[in-house]
């Protein structure tokens, strides 16, 4: 069998056609040290991560299930993604349920800043997978400061419907707002979009 060594430019082009999650979980980092270094450089180029409508949204939807903690393989995959991609992201769109899972990961980490470059955060709370599952974590301001710091913009999109009280309470929502304020800059831009399915109305704050 003839071995063909592709130029770095061709390999980088191939990388560009693969979604961040697929690339991160491909196992290609085990090919060689040079290949691993190229992957690291590619990870650094990921500035925008949309876990709701992005190319890897189906993967992240799996973490909205209450039994996801029991799936060690899936949790390990998320850990690999968090370690390799999250530190470079500046714009992050995420369901509240997935956000809660990420916070659980931080608890197990050494005291380092998980998303040091994050500046724009959009959190979605709705009846799909936007529940505040671990509201107790939002009372931990030390945990907040290990997630990010210096946020310039925070947007919350909240959809209310029948049964919303099972996803979040007024108390958990207040804790969540306080948590976000802890990781944002003093004069950060804030946006709140409220949609009530029962009344079919939308309000912007």
Question: Could you tell me the residue ranges of all domains in the chain?
Answer: 1-45, 47-204
The C-alpha atoms of residue 100 and residue 78 are separated, in whole angstroms, by 13
Give the model's confidence band at 160: pLDDT under 50 very low, under 70 low, under 90 confident, else very high. Answer: confident
DSSP-derived 3-state class of residue 10: helix
pLDDT (0 to 100) of residue 32: 80
pLDDT (0 to 100) of residue 134: 57
pLDDT (0 to 100) of residue 204: 54
Region of 200 (left: φ > 0; alpha: ψ -120 to 50; beta: rest) is: left
Give the model's confidence band at 165: pLDDT under 50 very low, under 70 low, under 90 confident, else very high. Answer: low
pLDDT (0 to 100) of residue 78: 92
Residue 199 in this model has a pLDDT that exceeds 70: no
Q: What is the dihedral of CA 56, 62, 63, 64, to 10 degrees?
A: 110
Note the pLDDT tens digit of each residue in 125-152. Answer: 887 776 665 556 677 777 788 888 889 9
| 24 Cβ contact list (under 8 Å, min separation 6) | 43, 80, 81, 84, 85
pLDDT (0 to 100) of residue 136: 61
How many Å is the maximal CA-CA distance in the chain?
Answer: 67
């Amino acid at each position: 069998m003839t071995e063909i060594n592709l130029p770095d430019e061709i390999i980088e082009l191939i990388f560009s056609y693969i979604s961040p999650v697929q690339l991160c979980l491909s196992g290609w980092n085990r090919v060689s040290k040079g290949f691993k270094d190229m992957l690291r450089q590619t990870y650094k180029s990921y500035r925008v991560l949309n876990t709701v409508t992005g190319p890897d949204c189906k993967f992240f939807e799996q973490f909205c299930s209450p039994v996801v903690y029991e799936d060690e393989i899936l949790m390990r995959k998320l850990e690999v993604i968090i370690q390799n991609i999250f530190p470079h992201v500046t714009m992050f769109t995420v369901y509240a349920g997935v956000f809660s899972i990420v916070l659980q990961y931080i608890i197990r980490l050494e005291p380092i800043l998980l998303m040091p470059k994050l500046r724009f955060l959009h959190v979605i709370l709705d009846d799909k997978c936007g529940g505040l599952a671990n509201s107790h974590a939002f009372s931990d301001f030390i945990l907040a400061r290990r997630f990010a710091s210096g946020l310039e913009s925070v947007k919350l999109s909240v959809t209310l419907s029948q049964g919303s009280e099972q996803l979040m309470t007024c108390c958990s929502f207040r804790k969540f707002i306080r948590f976000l304020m802890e990781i944002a800059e003093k004069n950060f831009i804030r946006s709140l979009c409220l949609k009530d399915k029962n009344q079919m109305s939308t309000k912007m704050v």
